[in-house]
Structure 1
Amino acid sequence: MEKAKEKKVLGIIALIIAIFALILSWVPIVNNIAAIFAVLGIILGVIALVINRKNKKTIALIATILSVLSIIVVLATQGLYSKAIDDALGNQTKMSPQLLLQLLHQKRKTIPQRKLSN
């Protein structure tokens, strides 16, 4: 009996990490860390699946599925947040290189030049 419990430990750890990643995947800046946790959960979940080939693999399978789901949520929310930022800024971020050079040239004219004295 004790060996079966030892084989479940990796699946339980993967499940805890996957749940943590799924919770953090909705938070805007923190979801980058959640993606790292999700990858870790996938790795541990797959290792637990391989170790428990002949035993029940329910916990490891759930952990792997939740980790994949949290990566999908991270990617979807990243796209959603970046679209919201682009919409809020409007056309300010879509400057052509010529317009950018013109603005830099105008700023250079308005900044007074200092002479260095020896």
Structure 2
Amino acid sequence: MSFFLRWLFAFVLLAATYNPTEWNYVRWAMANWDAQLPLVVLAGLVLVIGYVIYIRATLRSIGGFGMLLVAALVGAILWVLWDFGLLDFENPKVTTWVGTLALSIVLAVGLSWSIIRRKLSGQVDTDDVEE
């Protein structure tokens, strides 16, 4: 269940930033930049904090190459689904949601990797003491 919650938060973070509906930070900030600048900046900082947490943890746990591998695996799965006719990338809204889903999976795997590795191998990861 913990992986699901990490993925859900990553998906919400990405979807809150941008999605094909009217309900996202990018469109709201562009429409309200002049009238509500302090609120736009506050909401943007909250999103940036979420991204820093996820990206830093992902880079520390699986690194850039690991992120690339997970993204390639998700991309290959999407390619297979498209090849079987289960996905249609002609619709830009569907493509945006699929991209959001794919990126959220990459971030969730990165944030959960220590737990996944410990369950698979029995080895425990620890943080570096000297940084």
The one of the two structures with greater contact order (alpha-carbon pairs below 8 A, sep at least 6) is: 2
Give the TM-score taking structure 1 as reference length.
0.41
Give the TM-score taking structure 2 as reference length.
0.38
Higher Rg of the two aligned structures: 1
